[in-house]
Amino acid sequence: MSKEIALIGYGRFGRLAAAHLRKDFQVCVVEPRKSVQLARGMRRVSLEEAASKPVVLLSVPINRLCDVLTTIAPKLRIGALVIDVCSVKEQPVRWMKSLLPKDVLILGTHPLFGPDSAAKSLMGHTIVLCPVRIRKRQLQRLSTYLRARGLNVQLLTPLRHDKLMASTLFLTQFVGHGLRKLSLPNPTSSTHNFRSLHHIATITGNDTMELFRDMFEYNRFAKRLPEELLRSFSELHKTLKSPRSY
């Protein structure tokens, strides 16, 4: 892998990625907000300069990805590797294949961790790789690097990824946001299961509503889940209200 990486997007996950990548690479960051201070050792660059780097990591919300791809496409070098970290894979991959030059390599990824779960270490966490347009040897080198950092590497197609994330990640987010609307008591004097629910609600609150809405809008398999879950709860409620049968 190249020793120089451009990071486009310096939000919560972008800062986490930069903190780990700077241990092994020269990281330059696109962050137009002057009020945001970059970590030591990182250099602020323009979008145009970032696009000229050998590896470009896109850490922007899905709803902004298409615009970013359109902007950087004509400025990418031949053979550059473009990587996204979106929590949805089918639509971002379609955009990258459609908008980026044919001589640019593409890798879809989804780190199944974030600033809360991986604040101290990457050890034991999982990252999903969706190879799109990348040489086998380069993919192997990247996988080896990630495993050496303690990550579990899982190869999935964008289709399988989105199906899995709809019934796991999006479901957790949906339940977590719902729980946050309740006045949950302090979990100290409670059961382990309740403490788990309280933890889900707390962690969900650290993620933006933008991320939650993006998962719903761009993952076609997530669209039916809220109605299915609410129907399940409604049927459960009817069971509670119905007369007992002995």
Of 123, 156, 189, which closes a domain?
A: 156
Tell me what the mean pLDDT of segment 81-90 comes to. 98
Confidence of residue 2 (pLDDT cuts 50, 70, 90): low
How many domains is the chain partitioned into structurally? 2
Strand order across the 105-111 sheet: 43-44, 26-30, 4-8, 55-58, 81-84, 105-111, 126-133, 152-155
Looking at the DSSP bridge assignments, the partners of residue 155 are 129
Q: What is the pLDDT of residue 39?
A: 87
Domain membership flag for residue 175: yes
Q: What is the pLDDT of residue 110?
A: 98
Confidence of residue 246 (pLDDT cuts 50, 70, 90): low
Q: Is a pLDDT exceeding 80 seen at residue 245?
A: no
Q: Are residues 13 and 37 in the same domain?
A: yes
Q: Are residues 151 and 166 in the same domain?
A: no
Q: What is the pTM for the complete model shown?
A: 0.91
When the pLDDT of each residue in the chain is averaged and rounded to a whole number, the result is: 94
Q: Are residues 190 and 217 in the same domain?
A: yes
Q: Are residues 123 and 215 in the same domain?
A: no
| Domain containing residue 15 | 4-156
Confidence of residue 1 (pLDDT cuts 50, 70, 90): low
Indicate which CATH number applies to the domain containing 15. 3.40.50.720
Q: Are residues 120 and 198 in the same domain?
A: no
Q: What is the pLDDT of residue 40?
A: 85
Confidence of residue 242 (pLDDT cuts 50, 70, 90): very high
Q: Are residues 134 and 212 in the same domain?
A: no
Q: What percent of the chain has pLDDT over 70?
A: 99
Of 128, 156, 184, which closes a domain?
A: 156
Q: What is the pLDDT of residue 45?
A: 96
Q: Are residues 132 and 12 in the same domain?
A: yes
Q: Are residues 149 and 184 in the same domain?
A: no
Tell me what the mean pLDDT of segment 110-124 comes to. 91
Q: Are residues 179 and 69 in the same domain?
A: no
Of 156, 190, 215, which closes a domain?
A: 156
Q: Are residues 34 and 120 in the same domain?
A: yes
Q: Is a pLDDT exceeding 80 seen at residue 166?
A: yes
